[in-house]
Amino acid sequence: NAGVTQTPKFQVLKTGQSMTLQCAQDMNHEYMSWYRQDPGMGLRLIHYSVGAGITDQGEVPNGYNVSRSTTEDFPLRLLSAAPSQTSVYFCASSSPRVGGELFFGEGSRLTVL
Amino acid sequence: DQQVKQNSPSLSVQEGRISILNCDYTNSMFDYFLWYKKYPAEGPTFLISISSIKDKNEDGRFTVFLNKSAKHLSLHIVPSQPGDSAVYFCAARPFVISSGSARQLTFGSGTQLTVLP
């Protein structure tokens, strides 16, 4: 059972470049989200989706785009990378039942030079 | 302003002793609290949770205590084992009013627990 799969695990970008972090889950979860983890800041919510075709902003959405065309996939796009986006990114999903905890992917470490 | 605070960045405990990790929150709308454990190069994994209608929840060696009046919760690990060495995140979410808000967790900054053999 793969759970939540993120690719790539590591990426180095130059300022201004764009890229997409991929996230896929095989648990048929309606809810998916993206977090970034920075030292001393914990995990902060970037964007989330409650189902295919529905997305919304979290706490730190600027500089990121998302789309949800299928239940399984929730890619995160960096439009024009900045050094402030150097971080570890985690994708997570959960079931719709109340109390359903988040299942996280292994993370994608992004460095923007 | 951080709504969920873990004021201790690190904690070292001897194997077999009790580990106590603390978490404070400021948002009165939070009514469900979770603890996640994270090993290096892995994603966080769910450990234990507690609803605001309870003041204690136990699962094996792990117990979470909630003090609503103080807006404080703690995770107790007894006995601590070297395999418990990890970063522990406290998280909280508000009362469920929609499927979206139900999943929006607010995380603390984490506490690195080291259990010494």
Model confidence over B25-36: pLDDT tens digits? Answer: 999 989 899 999
Place of tokens 């979410």: B93
Number of neighbouring beta carbons within 10 Å of residue B82: 10
Strand ranges (E), B27-97? 30-38, 45-51, 56-59, 62-67, 72-77, 86-94
Peptide bond into A39 cis (omega under 30): no
List, in order, residues 6 or more apart from A21 with CB less than 8 Å away: A6, A7, A8, A11, A34, A75, A76, A77, A78, A89, A91, A108, A110
- Picking from A43, A102, A104, the nearest residue to B103 by CB comes out as A102
pLDDT at A100 over 80: no
> Per-residue confidence at A62, pLDDT binned at 50, 70, 90?
very high
Smallest Cα distance from B20 to chain A, Å: 19
Say if the Cβ atoms of B103 and A31 lie within 8 Å: yes
Query: Does A101 touch chain B if contact means CB atoms closer than 8 Å?
Result: yes
Q: Between β-strands B111-116 and B10-14, what pairing exists: parallel, antiparallel or unpaired?
A: parallel
Q: Are B37 and B88 in contact (CB under 8 A)?
A: yes
Q: Cβ of A42 and B34 within 8 Å? A: no
Q: Model confidence over B20-67: pLDDT tens digits?
A: 999 999 999 898 999 999 999 899 999 999 999 999 999 999 999 999
Considering chain B, what percentage of its residues have pLDDT values greater than 70?
A: 91
pLDDT digits (tens, 9 = 90+) for B81-103: 999 999 999 999 887 655 555 56
| φ, ψ (nearest 5 deg) of residue B65 | -115, 140
